Amino acid sequence: MRFYKKAEGQSGFSLIEVLAAFTILSIVALAMTAFFTNALTYAKGNQNKTVMVNLARNALFYMEKQEFDPIKKYFVVDGKTEISCGATSCSEEVKKLVSNGDILFEVLHPTINGVAYQISIEYQKDIMTDLSLQGKTANYLIPINVLVEPIGGSNNAREVTRVEGYITNEKIR
């Protein structure tokens, strides 16, 4: 039964065809929206990762410019494994390791784009015991890991960054 009269030579889409096309188009649009949402989230994660890598490099560069002997004594002789600061300040023992202890807290607790980060410097003792670093080389290099994470921690491995480096003796700089 027809409710309309089709004029001779005219053609068009029925209501069912238009609704079917609209439904298919909506499904495709939803799939594309999910794709762009995931891409945006991934891009934001990469931006945060880049910030953390730059913070780690900054801390590594800062530590490389410090006097070698006090840091070597702290890690090798005293047997400490990490340089880090508390939530409000660094300990006096840690402050003595660097030329300006007050700046150390700012280096290890930066805030970028409203996000507060915590940086710790870990001594890589296992690398020091490697055969290639024994002997005279060990007197000139201290292998470290610089670990950066947002304050409050994270369960997401993408939100923790490690950068390896060496604190070198002034004699070979």
Tens-place pLDDT, residues 28-42: 999 899 889 999 988
Neighbouring residues of 123: CB distance < 8 A, sequence distance ≥ 6: 75, 80, 81, 82, 142, 143, 144
3-class SS of residue 165:
strand
Measured between alpha carbons, how far is 79 from 58 in angstroms, rounded to an integer? 25
Closest CA to 158 of 167, 171, 148: 148
Sort 17 into a burial class: Cβ within 10 Å, 0-12 / 13-18 / 19+.
exposed
Ranges under pLDDT 50 in the chain: 131
pLDDT, residue 59, reads 94
pLDDT, residue 131, reads 46
Question: Which residue has 């003796």 as its token pair?
Answer: 169
